[in-house]
Amino acid sequence: MYFSQFIGVDISKDTLDAAVYPAKDKKMDFLHFDNTQKGLTVMMSWLKRRGIKATEMLICAEHTGVYTNPLIEFADKKGLALSLNSPLDIKRSMGIARGKNDAVDAGRIAEYAHNHKDKLRLYEKPSDNIRKLQYLLTERRQYMRQRTAIINLDCAMGKYGTNETRSRSESARHHCEKLVKKVEDQMLSIIHSDPDIQRNYDLVSSVKGIGLINAINTIVFTNNFKAFETPRRYACYIGVAPFDHISGKSVKGRTQVSKICRTQQKAELSMAARSAIVSDPGLRKYYLRKMKEKGGGKDAHGVVLNAVKFKIILRMFAVVRSGEPYKVLNY
């Protein structure tokens, strides 16, 4: 599909900023509006007054989680071409940018879309079941946080906690655990009802360290492995794979892991990595070898654990592509 106009949208909780590229008379045109369906209708009127047709334009934005939903819903309803991209990819393409200005950022996103138009993937709306799993993950996370808060309260009370207080606390903790179990049962029911999700869930779950939540997290974040062309792009997206600071043809500075990451997904993968190091002889051998190379210690552990997480991501993508469950090699 050919696009001649590129609309960059910078997204925040309450407002959006839009810019058009190529700019008329080399002067970037900006619009600031509400992050609502009404605000997006204002954007379309603004574009129409500038002679930009819906069939000729591609809207590009960073995927910022729930704040992106109004734009996704609007584009789907109006049949607009939309590309959602990793904040890291866009940030790297901009080079060094001083300060924070939403309008200028929208212009950079529009320019990014133009410069990468042959490589951008159009957004594919997740199925209803993927969306249901996404919201169930959020619900489960809330109950787990409540459970953690209750446990922390128990520890803080020490000898001053009364028997009545401890009884209420224990009851509240058990209630949270029952709610978590109900959510997990519902997630499994959705998976079993959808052959495409069931297939990939079974394959991903064959990878050592990957349990129910990590499997569902990965399926949701990757839109059932449709949203990312390579495992490395997904790993960069959630802040696992290291990347280089690149300007033109030069590489500046040492490789590092992005701070722009999906914190919860990264934390869940850390638990998977620790489990895999124990249960997978190959990964345990790899972990010990890398720890020795880096001299051991807490800092080395973090770096090596991150490398293990990346290996797990590679394995998940590999089994989905091959259609064969992962087989642990004997060492």
- What are the φ and ψ backbone dihedral angles of 246, each rounded to 5 degrees? -120, 130
The residue with tokens 């360290």 is 209
Tokens of 159: 């000898």
**Confidence (pLDDT) at 242:** 56
Rounded Cα–Cα distance for residues 63 and 97 (Å): 20
Count, residues in the chain: 331
184's CB contacts (< 8 A; 6+ apart) are 140, 212
Q: What is the mean pLDDT of the chain?
A: 87
CB 324 within 8 A of CB 288: no
Query: Whole-model pTM?
Result: 0.76
Q: How far apart are CA 141 and CA 125, in angstroms?
A: 23
Cα separation, 44 vs 124, in Å, equals 21
- Secondary structure letter of residue 104 according to DSSP: H
Residue in the structure block whose two tokens are 């345990």:
284
Q: What is the per-residue pLDDT for 264?
A: 80
- Long-range interactions of 19-27: CB distance < 8 A, separation 24+: 19/103, 19/106, 19/107, 19/109, 19/110, 20/47, 20/50, 20/52, 20/110, 21/107, 21/110, 21/111, 21/113, 21/114, 22/114, 23/107, 24/50
Q: Domain residue spans in the chain?
A: 5-115, 128-193, 195-331
Asked whether the beta carbons of 315 and 203 are under 8 A apart, the reply is no
Q: Which CATH architecture has domain 5-115?
A: 2-Layer Sandwich (3.30)
pLDDT of 322 above 80 = yes
CA 321 to chain centre: 20
The model's pLDDT over 135-192, given as tens digits with 9 standing for 90+, comes to 999 999 999 999 999 999 888 887 788 889 889 999 999 999 999 999 999 999 999 9
**SS (HEC) of 290-310:** HHHHCCCHHHHHHHHHHHHHH
pLDDT at 168: 93
Has residue 43 got a pLDDT over 60? yes
**Alpha-helical runs (H) found in the chain:** 37-49, 69-78, 87-94, 102-115, 128-157, 163-193, 195-205, 212-221, 231-238, 263-279, 281-293, 297-322
